A and B are shown apart, each in its own frame.
Chain A
């Protein structure tokens, strides 16, 4: 009996193991992985709401995405992610069926089919100099069937047929030194207007049919202008002078140009602030923003200016929307003591509000930055309006009748940094009713699964089974699980918002817009920089919540003021925030924690002072204890220098600052600037766990890995070949690889690849580094591996030493011992170009590793480290084969089943993050770009657990059946015995 069960169990185990963990079956998609699609912060939006067909809005975003969204639910109908250099300048609809986008600085014009997003045509527009790019598609020009699209880009004006994208004519303005800012189209004539210098205003008149220059006119203003100008229909421009005290109306009516000027102080009483012309296109009106007040100024036909209204506390203005022949409306948003008012008014009939609504928007979303409006006709023939709002945190809202119809968290398209946090431990005391219900559900589920296994499930059952598997409530629980699959992914977005995503199904657990990263008077361009684990309580501080450190800076320059925020990882509450008196150039998390498990961090500022955080005496004490063992290195890529530093003493300003330190320089490596330029540096992850220091060879021999966290991989390219691929010849190109000890500055290994060039993507793990580059001679990408071994330990071969414990292999080591290093290396061709490389990480580091390669096709490919093993030979011996050494091939195989993203794409892939699960075999992978993707992978298959779909019900049923059989046969044999005896 017991034997039977054992055999059965081992058989089941065998069955579950044969299931390849590295690839998926179709019905396993979505079981452990999730994928979220985003578009990024919307720049332009165009509504397409015809009476028939689906209502949609077309958007282009700062992530260079062109997308068509369902206006009803906010889902994506179709989406195209253009390249990182292909910035979208304009989007519009032509002929009612094409979406036209202008991108790449006005040099690429594309037409997409409106319903399905197929590309219809593409024109590449040539030009000679960079300039502002303008896309102009006539709305009301019904002269021809063949509508013209006017594009100004790269100093040229192009007229393009909207049917096939053919360039009909082109006019070059590159020689005219004009900064074209407006293109105005009327049926016969096209006006091109702009400034030459800052005070001469030029207007060119072109023939719309042929592009011939009809007239050229200009006016010289007696003062310099601020450069920004606004076109007010008909034929007027508004300009501010460079002191922003005068407003100038330039009238180009009837071919001659004249101007009127007016002091802003004449229009408004207190004009103390800087005036800015808002770029909203409103017929006959212009909006002038002074401080938080917006002046609406009417421009009369004679060029006279009159203030129509003053609006306080405005946040956003929309463009004008024409709802009938002569009715134009526009929307604006006002903030008034924590309330948000959306108003829609007619441009000509100022007294009446077409719409005035109060909105309730979560203040975590920040201010409204942009607003786009669209109208619809209600059943009573009046006009209703819907507004699309772009928020400060990059999210997108659709508001209709004062309600938020849908919202999209598009801030997640621009993830800057990722960290993880454990979930809270499950508490005792689950109610009985819940368990009972769960038990019933559990049984029901397993009976269904059993049906599936025995192939007697009906199609409905199959659907139910799949639903059960995908929607398992176990996945998205808010507590820690035994295997460590459930965690929080904490991501910092470019908008300065922090999200916590659940690894089970990717839902947002909490989100917070940090006050320190909000746009304000002091902080014009806040950027989120990095996110660190600040406090990870385990062991003795378990009752405290883990916390996260977020570092943000106002503005892109290194000298901008910086702020730290501390967040509770479970709730997302801001625990504390500090505005730093010093700058932040670098943050170094130290490998020491204080008694509350807060990690010590050194923040290096711009003047090379180090500041210790947390600022507690205890932390200072810990640092003092390890004072002489803390080093840091700086890579100056522009100068080609790497420097090593050590802590020296406290800073001495007026008083001694206990938490501030100065450095002394220890070493520097200066690369010859005429032949080498630093293009990539990679170091090991500080939290990587290595299981063993020995690598066992086939003959039971041992190689000792050189496992040091203080090593740095540096890739240098020849300066001539540091540009794009194809700009240098193989003779000029050179790639030099260094492995450097960052404590002593010693170069452990140096290698050159002749005729190769970057971009180099590399990953460093244990004692090896894998890097990817381009080989110009072979015209192919290559990947190389370097494994570093410690020769000075190699003589630890006496078994008796080990038996008696008289070896020094586990005693602490110092870089100053100058270990003897040997490196092994091998290179292979690789088909794809690469966006990111990462390596799997597991809890104990026992499981073999896989490289995760983000390919140019925005997928993630898992390649076994065994393929990148310098010990591979053409004909491995029998023993080597048994050990798993693969015969050497010139290129790395790409097995289509080993794409961990299977059929999905992580559009705009920028990074891959791996986190160990508690289960040794499994590693959690998070890939981010415009999309987010998460999955679990088991590089050596799940050898330490039964698979997710293991059928417990079948096992239970078998055991019950076997016990029953045992009992019955026992009774039968007893009876037979009795009969035998009576005979």
Chain B
């Protein structure tokens, strides 16, 4: 929900009247008691403050997004432990989703952090964390794959597919016809 609000706050305005923009109404006299100088100054500080708050909030959100896979990781770990080490539909499904989720997340890193793009916000840190956590998730998946015995890490996995060697010599014979 917070995320949605933030989005509207930053770019999602329907319409706006900028009171601070006074370039067009220069030749009209200001109402009595109105001090343009003070207003100008006041308005700019206000908007700067607002912008600061927004970027702060953005970077905070970005970090939050970056940390989100961690929860996922824990969840996955639990599921894998539950699934056991025998190859069946459930364990295979879990393992492959554990592998697929980080990959799809990594593919959309840019999109994920798009909303928090700002000149003032440093996104590299969150991105790196996000990538690291997803890689961690993937490693967990691979480890699970290995523990299921689906990775060719043994000699046997390589030898089984090798055809028997050709023999150079040929020998036939046996008992004579009787």
Contact = CB atoms under 8 A, between A and B. Distances in A.
Nearest to B159: A694
Contacts of A708: 167
Contact of B173 (A634, A803, A814): A634
Given A700-B155, A701-B156, A586 B173 contact: yes
Interface string B135-178: 00000000000000000111111111111111111111111111
Contact of B153 (A584, A683, A692, A799): A799
B177 A631 contact: no
Given A709-B167, A810-B165, A802 B172 contact: no
A558 B153 CA distance: 59
5 contacts: A690-B164, A691-B163, A692-B161, A693-B162, A702-B154
B168 A802 contact: no
A591 interface: yes
Contacts, number: 135
B165 A693 contact: yes
A930 to B, nearest CB: 21
Contact of A742 (B156, B160, B173, B175): B173
A811 B172 contact: no
Interface string B66-77: 000000000000
Given A632-B171, A709-B167, A742-B171, A802 B158 contact: yes
A588 B177 contact: no
A810 B173 contact: no
A586 B165 CA distance: 28
A796 B177 CA distance: 43
Contacts of A803: 158
Interface residues of A, number: 59
Given A797-B155, A812-B165, A813-B165, A584 B160 contact: no
| Secondary structure type dominating chain B contacts | loop
Contact of A693 (B155, B164, B169): B164
Given A556-B178, A591-B170, 17 more contacts: A586-B177, A588-B172, A626-B170, A629-B170, A630-B169, A631-B169, A635-B173, A635-B174, A692-B160, A696-B159, A709-B167, A799-B153, A802-B158, A803-B158, A811-B165, A812-B167, A812-B168
Interface in B44-99: none
Contacts of B170: 590-591, 626, 629-631, 709-710
A633 B162 contact: no
Given A743-B169, A799-B155, A633 B174 contact: yes
A797 B158 CA distance: 10
A604 B174 CA distance: 11
Contacts of B164: 690, 692-693, 705, 707
Contacts of A630: 169-171
Nearest to B168: A814
B160 A696 contact: yes
Nearest to A808: B165
A904 interface: no
B162 A692 contact: yes
Interface string A695-716: 0110011101101111010000
Interface string A610-631: 0000000000000000100111
A633 B155 CA distance: 37
Interface in A764-814: 796-799, 802-803, 809-814
A178 B104 CA distance: 103
A632 B156 CA distance: 35
A683 B173 CA distance: 9
A545 B105 CA distance: 61
Given A692-B164, A799-B154, A799-B155, A633 B177 contact: no
A589 B172 contact: yes
A813 B167 contact: yes
A401 interface: no
Interface in A903-924: none
Most buried by A among B160, B163, B170: B170
A180 B32 CA distance: 162
Contacts of A979: none
A799 B158 CA distance: 8
Contacts of A635: 173-175
Interface in A792-838: 796-799, 802-803, 809-815
Contacts of A558: 176-178
B173 A702 contact: no
A702 B159 contact: yes
Contacts of B153: 799
A408 to B, nearest CB: 29
Most buried by A among B152, B163, B172: B172
Contacts of B171: 630-633, 644, 709-710, 742-743
B177 A585 contact: yes
Contacts of A696: 156, 159-160
A810 B167 CA distance: 10
A925 interface: no
A803 B152 CA distance: 10
B169 A815 contact: yes
A562 to B, nearest CB: 9
B159 A693 contact: yes
Given A585-B177, A707-B164, A632 B172 contact: yes
Contacts of B165: 693, 707, 809-813
A529 interface: yes
A617 B159 CA distance: 41
A700 B152 CA distance: 11
Which 10 pairs show the lowest CB-CB distances between chains A and B?
Answer: A588-B172, A802-B158, A700-B154, A694-B159, A631-B171, A632-B173, A696-B156, A633-B173, A742-B171, A710-B171
Contacts of B160: 692, 694, 696
A26 to B, nearest CB: 35
Contacts of A812: 165-168
Interface in B26-40: none
A591 B166 CA distance: 12
Given A637-B175, A799-B154, A799-B155, A710 B162 contact: no
A626 B156 CA distance: 34
A681 interface: yes
Contacts of A637: 175
Contacts of A686: 172
Contacts of A22: none
Contacts of B169: 629-631, 710, 743, 814-815
Contacts of A632: 171-173
A910 to B, nearest CB: 15
A702 B172 contact: no
A802 B155 contact: yes
A311 to B, nearest CB: 39
B162 A694 contact: yes
A796 B155 contact: yes
A181 interface: no
